[in-house]
Structure 1
Amino acid sequence: MTLPLRTATRYVTPLREGGSMPAVVEADDDGLYVLKFRGAGQGPKALVAELIAGGLAKALQLPMPDLALIELDAELARTEGDPEIQDLIKASAGLNLAMDYLPGSVNFDPVAEQPDADLASRIVWFDAFISNVDRTARNTNLLMWHRRLYLIDHGASLYFHHGWDGDTAGAAKPFPLIRDHVLLRWATRLADVDAELASRLSDDVIAGIVADVPDAWLQGPDAFGDPANQRAAYVAHLTRRVTQRGAFVQEAVRARA
């Protein structure tokens, strides 16, 4: 996976419902993107999780807006009247992550919508794999666009990497919080989709996704080793999680039962 590189040319509007206050921006390809700021409260680890999880979702052929790296110039802050937004732009100068903006999309409503059992099972499997704590009825992080379900916002996944030293022991653990997943009740085909999804996540596919993480995001107080060593640790964790996936798959099956 190689992400396209864009340059932000205009700050359009903040999306204040997001905890990290993402924003709609226009880029040099005239496209609109939802930008996730490196300088937001969650820090660059949230962008690492967004990029890796987004790449894995694409590899699994799950519906998700396309990702891009976006270069942000601190000079854009000069046109903004809100001091909070000015500070956020300045703190995020350099490479950030964005996804295609889906105009007219609406939040998924688990009362009104009836997702397909196969797709629901694939999404639950994926979220158990990436340890995504943020796909609940309270905050679904799912959009409906042209009557199709789209996955968004994976910054809270891969939570093991906060304060991480590169140890992969946790890769074989189940994910008990899958019990709160908004799509769990429709995920009746978890055992059926397991082998196929795992087959899509070869070592080379995972390594290609992780290779896109910029060096600048692998710095900071809880970084360990150099960026190359950190990427290798992510690859080792994720490949081990695929081979020992029985723990999180069976946990999801038990949670649904």
Structure 2
Amino acid sequence: MTVLMDDGAEYEAVMKISTGMELGTEALMNEMLGSLIAADLGLAVQEPFFVELSAEFCASIPLPSIRARLATSCPLAFACLDAGKQWRGWNATDRISSAQEATAVSIMAFDAFTGNSDRRPGNPNLLVKDQEWRLIDHENSFSYRLRLFPRCQPWVVGNVAGMIASGAPSEHIFASHLIGRETLSLAPIKASWLALSDARLAQYDAILPVEWDATRPYLLEALQHIRRVRETIDPCLTELERILL
């Protein structure tokens, strides 16, 4: 999409609307929260923002099926800046260099600790440009109530083992690349998670737009989970270390 900003600037963006999504506005909230937390943990994401869908815009779409989806969607959508043609998706032939190792294990920890099983070989959700990476697509993170078994509890022994199960739906794209690397360091991951203060978590809550207010119970559940990860970061990292080393 081309979006018009409040200051008159125009940007190319990738937009998600609530209609047609399995989780509706909850998926949009997950996108918002995932982008914010990832960025605060030092992981690169596409800049996120909200997009207002005007009635005039929705009515202008010539394709009936798309026009109907837009007309029945929440009037506030989630979007992020389009990365451009110089970026591509991660593929099976990509490798992790020594310089990328710390970022790779941080991404794997982020997915393990937020319950994101959707960065897998068949759907990597990772943009690549030379040695740079950017995370995309967080809609399936934090949906703890929908995945009761195994529930995301990375502080529990064996909880994240599915991330290294070759061929399983839960296999992480970095698993086979990181297993057995003796140079992995988890100390920076601990520091970044401990830096997620209660004040910052409250800001995530404050950012939630009124149009998505029905998702606040799920947001609060996600924030409580993040607090639990922060408070049990040592056993969480022990479990990550257990599967990789």
Range class of TM-score, shorter chain: 0.7 to 0.9
63, 79, 93: which is aligned to 1:111? Answer: 93
CA distance in 2, matches of 1:163, 1:110: 27
3, 7, 10: which is aligned to 1:30? Answer: 10
Matched-pair contact (CA < 8 Å) for 2:21–2:27: no
For structure 1, the residue ranges without an aligned partner over 5 or more in a row are: 1-23
| Cα deviation code 1:11-63 (max 9, x no counterpart) | xxxxxxxxxxxxx3332321111111122322111111111111001101111
In structure 2, do the counterparts of structure 1 residues 256 and 198 end up closer, same or farther at CA, with 3 Å as the change threshold? same
Q: Identify the residue that residue 168 of structure 2 maps to in structure 1.
A: none
CA distance in 1, matches of 2:185, 2:66: 42
Task: Say which is worse superposed, 46-55 or 174-183, in terms of deviation.
Answer: 174-183
- Higher normalized strand content (fraction of residues): 1
Q: Identify the residue that residue 239 of structure 1 maps to in structure 2.
A: 227
**Deviation at 1:67?**
0.6
Map 1:126-141 onto structure 2 (within 5 A): 126-141=110-125
**Deviation at 1:171?**
7.7
Aligned residue pair count: 224
Calculate the TM-score normalised by the size of structure 1: 0.77
**Deviation at 1:203?**
1.6
Pair 1:60-2:37 in alignment? no
Residue type at the aligned position of 1:78: A
In structure 2, do the counterparts of structure 1 residues 90 and 235 end up closer, same or farther at CA, with 3 Å as the change threshold? same
SS at match of 1:35: strand
In structure 2, do the counterparts of structure 1 residues 123 and 231 end up closer, same or farther at CA, with 3 Å as the change threshold? closer
For structure 2, the residue ranges without an aligned partner over 5 or more in a row are: 165-170
Map 1:1-257 onto structure 2 (within 5 A): 24-28=1-5, 29-42=9-22, 43-104=24-85, 105-115=87-97, 116-145=100-129, 147-162=131-146, 172-173=155-156, 174-179=159-164, 180-187=171-178, 188=181, 189=184, 191-219=186-214, 227=216, 231-257=219-245
SS at match of 1:63: coil
Calculate percent identity across the aligned residue pairs.
21
Residue type at the aligned position of 2:227: T
**Deviation at 1:172?**
4.8
Residue type at the aligned position of 1:25: T
SS at match of 1:99: strand
CA distance in 2, matches of 1:141, 1:52: 16
